Amino acid sequence: MAPIVKVSDLDKYFGRLYVLKKVNLDVQPKEVACVIGRSGSGKSTLLRCLNFLEEPSAGTIEVDGLVVHAGVKGKERRRLVHDVRLKTGMVFQEFNLFPHMSVLENVTEGPVIVKGMNRAQANEIAEMNLDRVGLLFKKDEYPNRLSGGQKQRVAIARALAMEPQLMLFDEPTSALDPELIGEVLNVMKKLAQEGMTMLVVTHEMGFAREVADRVIVMAEGELIEEGRPEDIFRSPKDARTKALIDRYRTGGAE
């Protein structure tokens, strides 16, 4: 089976700072891949390059058959990037909901504005996805009436409403109070069970161990190790992976 994501020799510089170094990565359809690593290892930058929120400095990114080469300009390239974004839903650390819109309006905005969908159809899709995340009963509320966990679940529904082939999660629980983390992780577990392809940057080791098909470890802009969760957590091969896992086990910071 062809991978849905194929990253080849991806480099990213911020000025002289070399953030991603010849990254090569494949993600298979319906796979849940979790990316772990210390802060500053390049995890979030990798995700942001995949949907071109950050412009790659070199390399190639392929998403569901769409191939985009770094450094190429022009109308065709802009079209490819637009089409890649249509295939990728992204959930950020912060929820980024529109405060002046209801929950339902937040979820319908993308399909209506980006896809040109009529409002009735967009409402139907939005309600279906709010139900998926357990928040249909909040559809008429405004974001300031929601908890942090509920806001993040609305953000997930908003991404799902675009009917993506791939979901990118950038530390989706890091801005939440501890008691609210579980409700977001449960939604993500449900998506995994439904067969959604997911690339998840996370510091939630329990989630990575339980839900991931594969764990990818980053350090200093490189992929240093990858494998099945049981192999990574029980017998890491790289000393940096072992140190990272030991730090989490003892409750240390990244």
What is the band of 192 on the pLDDT scale with cuts at 50, 70, 90?
very high
pLDDT reported for residue 62 = 97
The mean pLDDT of 61-80, rounded to a whole number, is: 95
- pLDDT above 70 for 200: yes
Residue range 91-108, pLDDT digits in tens = 999 999 999 999 999 999
pLDDT reported for residue 29 = 97
- pLDDT above 90 for 194: yes
Give the alpha-carbon dihedral of 51, 80, 59, 212, to 10 degrees: 40
- pLDDT above 80 for 16: yes
pLDDT reported for residue 254 = 53
What is this structure's pTM? Answer: 0.94
pLDDT reported for residue 134 = 96
- With 0-12 / 13-18 / 19 or more C-beta atoms within 10 angstroms meaning exposed / middle / buried, residue 253 is exposed
Task: Please report, for residues 216, 237, 245, the alpha-carbon distance to residue 171 in angstroms, rounded to integers and kept in the order given.
Answer: 14, 25, 17
- pLDDT above 80 for 252: no
pLDDT reported for residue 74 = 93
The mean pLDDT of 147-167, rounded to a whole number, is: 97
The mean pLDDT of 213-222, rounded to a whole number, is: 97
- pLDDT above 80 for 122: yes
- pLDDT above 90 for 248: no
What is the band of 1 on the pLDDT scale with cuts at 50, 70, 90?
confident
How many whole angstroms separate alpha carbon 64 and alpha carbon 33?
16
* Whole-number average pLDDT of the chain: 95
For 195-245, the three-class secondary structure string (H helix, E strand, C coil) is CCEEEEECCCHHHHHHHCCEEEEEECCEEEEEECHHHHHHCCCCHHHHHHH
Cβ atoms of 204 and 181 within 8 Å: the answer is yes
